[in-house]
Amino acid sequence: MIAIIGLLIGVVIGLVLQPDVPIGLEPYLPIAVVAALDAVFGALRAFLDGLFDDKVFVVSFISNVFIAALIVFLGDKLGVGAQLSTGVIVVLGIRIFANVAAIRRHIFHA
């Protein structure tokens, strides 16, 4: 319940304030969102598995976002930003799919 309230609060704040992202951080935002999505789905799966841990979720979320942004930053500096972003998206995408599959098994028992 408190999780859904948190989500809603975030959505409302985002819609109301419509914060401006500094130009320098703009390229990292989409990849950070994907990384965060991975952490959220991982947490949901762990919750359904009965393995959920508050602290692990917070740490994994922050580290995921940070590492994703760092990889893109490094890639930009090395001139392979687009390729590295693609790599990160692919890996995170596979993880998200695997986690969603597990969640689906929990919910539908299929």
Contact between 80 and other proteins per CB under 8 A: no
Task: Please report which helix (H) or strand (E) contains residue 14, including its range.
Answer: helix 2-17
List the structure tokens of 82: 């687009």
Contact between 54 and other proteins per CB under 8 A: yes
Contact between 52 and other proteins per CB under 8 A: yes
How far apart, in whole angstroms, are the C-alpha atoms of residue 13 and residue 98? Answer: 31
Contact between 56 and other proteins per CB under 8 A: yes
| Shortest Å, Cβ 45 to other proteins | 6
Based on CB atoms, which residue is closest to other proteins, 15 or 79?
Answer: 15
- Contact (Cβ atoms closer than 8 angstroms) between residue 64 and residue 38: yes
How far apart, in whole angstroms, are the C-alpha atoms of residue 41 and residue 61? Answer: 10
Chain centroid to Cα 66, Å, comes to 10
Contact between 23 and other proteins per CB under 8 A: no
| Residues found near other proteins in the complex (CB under 8 A) | 2-3, 5-11, 13-15, 18-19, 21, 26, 29-30, 32-33, 36-37, 39-40, 42-43, 45-47, 49-62, 65, 91, 94-95, 98-99, 102
